[in-house]
Amino acid sequence: MRTILVLLVVVVLALAANAQSQQWTVADAVIAARDHHPTYIEAAAILDQAKGARRSSLSLDSPSFSVEFEGIPEGAGVNTYEERRLALFQEIDFPLRYFWQIKKQNALVGAAEFQQQLLLMDLEREVRSAYLEAWFADERLAVLERYAASLDTQALTFRQMRDVGRIADLDVSRAEAEAAEVRSDLRISQSDQSAARARLENLTGYTTLPTKLANPLQSNWVPPIDGAVWANNFDLLSARKLADAADNDQTLAATSWLPSLEIGGFRQHVPSAVEGSDYWGFEVGLSVPLWYLWGGIGEIEVATAQKRSAWASVGKRQLELNTEWQESFAQLQAVRERLNTFEQVLIPTSENVKRLALRSYQAGKASYLDVLEAQRSMLQRQLGYLETTRDLESIHIALDQLAGKSIVASNTEPMER
């Protein structure tokens, strides 16, 4: 029995270790956040609220119901007389106005759908940025760890060379000081890594992230060449739907002179009648827009101004998006050029300078300060290259946000819980 328990524990630990070793992608993080973050609920509530408002606005007003009783006592030549009357009336708007009301409410629901998607895209951008920072912190820490390990090895080698009289104590001290300084930087980088991972954990609901985060850089990402790439931006689409609703609102205001209808029926019961004590009836009434030239014209003026404001907001947002796209695209070109410079010139040159400095030092033609300078330059180039790749992906995220483009398979509805 004990053997079986031990085997089960071993299997569980192996599975857990395997799960931790598996790479976690940025798409996995976005999907996890959508299922965990309160924004998910907020996005669903926006659409539900708009649909409820549509149902409420298209509903008829409550009908009016009345009960009347009239009785005249006998006397002064009048016989006893009683009358009971039940009536039910329903007021409805002019039928044609319901058509524009439906169009207006559908436009508002459409705007809410785009607002819902905008919230999810904002959450996706936040998660992608947090994932990028966590990945960057991991990679930066790995670079520093490799550099610190090489310096520790180098310091140990220098101590051994000093013991046999090949180098002076000064070089050993410099090597040890450089190794100590890098270990200090390493501890700071470890703190930054913990903070970046904690932020990603809070967004995704994971108590412990996998040890390895997959590279979030999109190798197949194609930079947009059309300046109107932002045409599908959810914020812009929502503004257009609101402007459509304002169009229909203006039409409703312009047709407010159309009368509303009142339809009703009644049943009248006269117990004292000699013949036929029950009567039925049907009534139709029209409201007269007597004050239309005052109130109605004012309502049209308000609706017209709101329509102009709504479409002006659309134009304003288009200008903003175009400016944001141009700025991001210019940054994209600059960062891509800098990345190419790192790959083709700076990194290879730094590696070559480091090798030459070590050979010159070993041949007695250079000082250890030259070696340190070459090593530090190599480290700075590696970290600079890493920072540039992070900047490039940040621009990718910004451009995807402008275009309303999601990296997950579905971006149409919040996931069902």
User: For the chain, which residues make up each domain, given as ranges?
Assistant: 24-73+109-258+288-403
Inform me whether the pLDDT recorded for 417 exceeds 60.
no
Model-level pTM?
A: 0.80
Mean pLDDT value of segment 221-231: 66
Kindly report, residue by residue over 356-403, the tens digit of the pLDDT: 988 888 888 888 888 888 888 999 999 999 999 999 999 999 988 988
Kindly report, residue by residue over 101-124, the tens digit of the pLDDT: 999 999 999 999 999 999 999 999
Q: What is the C-alpha to C-alpha distance for residues 111 and 103, in angstroms, rounded to an integer?
A: 12
Q: How far is CA 157 from the centre of its chain?
A: 53
Kindly report, residue by residue over 155-211, the tens digit of the pLDDT: 888 788 887 777 778 888 888 888 888 888 899 999 999 999 999 999 998 888 888
Classified as helix, coil or strand, 290 is coil
239-253 in b/e form (b: 16+ CB < 10 A) is: bbbbbbbbbbbbbbb
Classified as helix, coil or strand, 76 is coil
Which CATH number does the domain 24-73+109-258+288-403 belong to among 3.40.50.150, 1.20.1600.10, 2.40.30.10, 3.40.50.970? 1.20.1600.10
- Residue 230: the pLDDT is 75
Q: What is the C-alpha to C-alpha distance for residues 365 and 284, in angstroms, rounded to an integer?
A: 111
- pLDDT confidence band for 412 (50 / 70 / 90): very low
Q: What is the C-alpha to C-alpha distance for residues 70 and 271, in angstroms, rounded to an integer?
A: 11
